[in-house]
Amino acid sequence: MDNKPFADVDTSKTNNDLVGASVVIWTTTPWTIPQNRAVAHGQHNGIDYSVYTVREVAEGSAAKVGERIIVADKLAESVKAAAKIVAWDEDRSVGSDALDSMTHAHPFRGLDGANGEWDYPVPMLPGEHVTEDAGTGFVHTAPSHGDDDYQLGLRFGLPMTYNVLEDGSYRPDLPLFGGQHIITSEGKEGPANVSVIRALAASGALFAKGKLKHSYPHSWRSKAPLIYRNTPQWFAAIDKPLDDGKGQYGDTIRQRALTSIEELVTFTPISGRNRLHSMMETRPDWVLSRQRAWGVPLTCFVKRGAKPTDPDFLLRNDEVNARIVEAFEAEGADAWYKDGAKQRFLGNIVNPEDYDQVFDILDVWFDSGSTHAFVLRDRPDGSEDGLADLYLEGTDQHRGWFHSSMLQACGTIGRAPYRGVLTHGFTLDEKGMKMSKSLGNTVAPQKIVKDFGADILRLWVAQTDYTADQRIGPEILKGTADSYRRLRNTMRFLLGSLGDVTDRDMVGPEQMPELERWVLHRLAELDEVVRNGYAAYDFQGVFRSLFEFATTDLSAFYFDIRKDSLYCDGDTPAAAPPGRCWSTSSTA
């Protein structure tokens, strides 16, 4: 644990009696101090602060008698103890106006050998993430190394730093710390933390230090420790107006996506609409690039030495793009990685030495989000308008395939690539637990077919509520098998009674008895229910309606009444109506 003050409050707007006071911050990652760009306070969160003047310190304390520090009132005693301060005076409270107007000096400002690297003002900013659970009530903010810090940096326009490289070391030209590792390639702690602490002591900015054991992010695969660092990436700006002539449903990707969700797409179940809509409303720009050894490349060239904000940073050349398209159509994405690719694509058009070839790959979700183009649009057997009638996947794809397809299509064709989206839940075991080989609770379709038959598995699928998670197991399948037998017995009874029925036995409904006309009326009602159910993907409702008709209307009611005529009247007019009606039912 390290407590470090940002000394020399330096602002004309601040009360004169605060000039020269120090704000104490607390961090468990000293290596981020060179990347500091602000200090966050929590006065707006109800945290009170005061100025304290050190009067007496114990042996070994890094605090200095007479120095004035600002900390949260609730944490003052713990800070006093950690810094080995024997006595101090509480001078006065510090309000939000004073805090919001403060500007600080970086602790490495003016340090020998720093070469002016940290000679910039450090603002004090309100942070919603600041608490008084531990520390000093102030949070050191390095927007390049943590989400809270990054979000605060975006909110207030803090500059990003790029001091930490891919291998976990400081960039070689960083004064004082260049080339030092934060984490080594073996996953061990490098010298960076210790070097930063020593630099703080040399600058007189180290207030206290200690050791603290705490959790740290690790790679789930290699178990190596991880650090947070920002990296330059390629983005799709979803709120930038597009001048592409496809603005019928909005001028930006976000507007087009929201309009598509609200007006153009039917969701089954309807809850999927709300889920995707809320995601689109709040999502940030889409990060398109990834740093991997191989994948679908971004196929970009950038001007050597230019900054991303420069207008000529990205090479935009139709002739170059045409060469790339031609090569990819003939050779696939491997064309980008072949020797001499840069000269092949740029030669005789622009000077290849002026540009660097980008080897970042596309987000794989961009790949899947593009399927509508090469499955439906660019094939002879695709749809006429390039749109899908239905996208079907699990509920997790609101954040995945449905989401990326929507973004990609709204950027390229101006609307959603689908007219309908249907989502289903996941298949669980009989107790509602996720299936896992390690738990031994998997249910293999092949075993179900072997034990119960394929029709039982099909009927289980048809009768489940796919909009939620479904359970499956031996006892559940026994119930499905019983339903199957009841349906099958109804059909056998119908078909077994029609062996001697011929066309001459057929008559119109007006000539049938009232009971037979009722059955045909129920059959007509069922026909409408079934057709509407299939149109709405309500397969469970279709099964339930068919099952109730077969087992209740037919078997329990109609068959029970007419079976005496069938069994006792033989080949007589009295036996004809059931046969005629059953023939109609069987045909339907």
Q: Under CATH, what is the fold of the domain 2-209?
A: Isoleucyl-tRNA Synthetase; domain 2 (3.90.740)
Q: Which of 59-63, 136-140, 254-258, 453-457 has the highest mean pLDDT?
A: 254-258
Average pLDDT estimate for 241-258: 94
Nearest to 402 by CA among 392, 389, 410, 412: 392
Average pLDDT estimate for 328-339: 93
Predicted confidence at residue 576, as pLDDT, reads 52
* Strands lying side by side in the sheet with 420-424: 266-268, 420-424, 391-394
Pairing state between β 361-362 and 391-394: unpaired
pLDDT per position as a tens digit, 336-347: 999 999 999 999
Question: Is the per-residue pLDDT at 547 higher than 90?
Answer: yes
* Residue 570 pLDDT class (50, 70, 90 cuts): low
Residues with Cβ < 8 Å from 63, sequence gap 6 or more?
54, 57, 83, 84, 85, 207, 208
pTM of the predicted protein model: 0.71
Predicted confidence at residue 10, as pLDDT, reads 41
Predicted confidence at residue 281, as pLDDT, reads 94
Pick the CATH number of 497-587 from 3.30.360.10, 1.10.730.10, 3.30.1330.10, 3.40.50.2000: 1.10.730.10
pLDDT per position as a tens digit, 41-87: 887 878 888 888 888 888 888 778 888 888 888 888 888 888 888 88
Question: Is the per-residue pLDDT at 314 higher than 90?
Answer: yes
Q: How far apart are CA 272 and CA 417, in angstroms?
A: 16
* Residue 9 pLDDT class (50, 70, 90 cuts): very low
Torsion sign (Cα): 574, 579, 581, 582: positive
Q: How far apart are CA 416 and CA 471, in angstroms?
A: 33
Q: How far apart are CA 331 and CA 347, in angstroms?
A: 19
Do 23 and 100 form a contact (C-beta atoms < 8 A)? no
- Please name the helix (run of DSSP H) or strand (run of DSSP E) that holds residue 127, with its range, or none: none
Q: Tokens for 228?
A: 């947070």
Average pLDDT, the chain: 86
Pairing state between β 235-236 and 286-287: antiparallel
**For the chain, first and last CA: distance in Å?**
78
Pairing state between β 22-27 and 138-141: unpaired
Name the residue ranges covered by the structural domains of the chain: 2-209, 253-288+366-424, 289-362, 427-494, 497-587
